[in-house]
Structure formats: C-alpha cells, structure tokens
Amino acid sequence: MDITAVIPSEVNKQAVALWSKAQTDSLLCVKYLTYLYLEDEEKDHIPPRRKRKIRQKRSCWSHDWLQRRKEFGQWENLLQELILEDRTSFRNFLRMDEDLFCELLESIRPRIEKQRTFWREPLEAGLRLSITFRYLATGDNYRSLSFGFRVPPNSISCIVYETCEAIIAEYMDKVIVCPSTAEEWKQVAKGFSRRWQFHHTVGVIDGKHIRMRAPSKSGSYYYNYKDFFSLVLLAVVDSDYKFMFVDVGANGATCDAQVFTNSTLHKALSNNQVRLPPENL
C-alpha cells in the first residue's frame, strides 16, 4: 500500500522522510549484525596462540661437585699422576704419549685458551685438550665425561667442537700434504718398495664409515650396509701411514666406487692434475 494515499497531503513529505529513515536504519542494523556474525566465525577458525613457557629461575649457577674440579677432576689429578708414575696408562687413557700431548697442547694453546674475566676463571687449555682426546678415543657421551672431568655437559659439547677446529686449522697444511710433482710421487713409491715390497705404488686408498646419529627426516640416506648410520671417510696414505688425501662427507648409503667417483681425487686424476710420474719410470 502506498503511504501517501493514507496520510494527508500536507504531511506527505515529512512522513515519507521518516519512513525512508526507518528503512535505512533497519538495513544498517542488518549489515552490522551480519558483520558481527562473520567476525565471530573467523575467530572460531583462528587457532589459539600457544602460551609462552615461563622460564624457571636457575636454582644455582654451578653445582658444588663441579666446583671441586681442582681437587678431584681427572685432568688435575689422575692425568698428572699418570705422567709422573705410569706413562703407559697415560697412553691408554688418551691414545697418545705424554710428549706428543704436550707438543699438541703448546701448538694450539693460543687457539683454545680463553681470556680470564672478573666473573669466572676459564677452563685450562690442557683440560680442554684432554677432554677432546678422551672423547675421540672412547666415543663416550658428554654426560659421562662430565662426571670424570667435572665439567658440565653443555660446556663439553662446545669444547670438543672448538678444539677439533683448532687442531684442523693448526695442522691441516702441515700433516696432510699431497705430492704435487713427479719427483715427490717417486719418493712415495720408493717408500712402498723399501718397506713393503710393493713396487710402482704411490698410495693406498680405502674408506671408513664414521658412525653418526641419523639427521631428522633423512630416512635411509645415511644407512649403510653394516646396519648403522654413517658418513664416509675416503683417505689415501703413504708407506708410513701418513695421510696424503682425505675426503669426508659422503652419505653412508653410497657405494665405494661412487664415493671415489665423486671425490676431488678422481677429478684430478681424470684431468691429469696429479702429475704422476710416467709409466716407464
């Protein structure tokens, strides 16, 4: 029904304006309610935020038994006794003689020695080196080593990594030296002829599976035929067991031939960059 037919003509304009305003307000209310409804639905689909874990206050800076390292630690007591009384047991403990240990210690001391600060006394360079060699000799875990040397496991994890890096940086170019001329290869061949009666031999090559913990989501990529996860170490040695070439990093599932094919040694041999002596010499 038309509203102008009921309302007298003199108030038609005012009535129409009020009616239009009421309809507009109704539409606005419907839109607003619809917006609130959709907003609530979106909130229902948003996953709740994880509550931040409240970090507990540290109960102590260092355990009391760790602070008694100088009285009962293996480096401060046991190893010093073995140096004075039983060097054979010292060799069994660290897999090296005391003279070689001291030589290595003095060579890498500037690389592993920490600065003394006001807050705490740093761990000695000898302690760091002995922990590293004991770990490499036995493969023992950090927590077990911490009870013997009285050093926290988290500190041992850093010590082993830093000390190994220091040894590599100090001795890489001094120890692992590959011959670069025909005359140097001839000297290696003479060593095999003289000591092992293997003539025309310039090196012995083999691989070693280094046991490791499988990386996350790696599947069987590092799983070798010996039924454990590993990385492959490929090495070439001379007649005195000295390394001339090392390639590390191939996954354990790779066969020996593929490890050699992917190595830089194979590429150098293929491109005649090794400079081996002629066959008739």
For each of the chain's 281 residues, which pLDDT tens digit applies?
Answer: 444 454 455 555 665 566 566 666 666 665 655 655 555 555 555 555 666 667 766 665 678 888 888 889 899 899 999 999 999 999 999 999 999 999 999 999 999 998 887 777 889 999 999 999 999 998 889 999 999 999 999 999 999 999 999 999 998 888 888 888 889 999 999 999 999 999 989 999 999 999 888 888 889 999 999 999 999 999 999 999 999 999 998 999 999 899 999 999 999 888 888 888 887 55
139/136 Cα distance (integer angstroms): 6
179/184 Cα distance (integer angstroms): 5
Model-level pTM?
Answer: 0.65
Q: Please list the alpha-helical segments (H only) found in 46-141.
A: 64-67, 69-72, 79-85, 87-94, 98-112, 125-138
pLDDT for 1 equals: 46
224/84 Cα distance (integer angstroms): 44
Reference 171, options 107, 109, 91; nearest CA is 107
Reference 81, options 104, 98, 99, 106; nearest CA is 98
Q: Which helix (H) or strand (E) holds 62?
A: none
Reference 264, options 242, 279, 249; nearest CA is 249
Cβ contact 23:31 at 8 Å: no
Cβ contact 123:159 at 8 Å: yes
164/97 Cα distance (integer angstroms): 19
pLDDT for 150 equals: 93
pLDDT for 3 equals: 46
Q: Which helix (H) or strand (E) holds 207?
A: strand 204-211
Reference 248, options 267, 264, 226; nearest CA is 264
Q: What is the token pair recorded at 38? A: 């959709």
SS3 254: coil
pLDDT for 18 equals: 60
SS3 214: coil
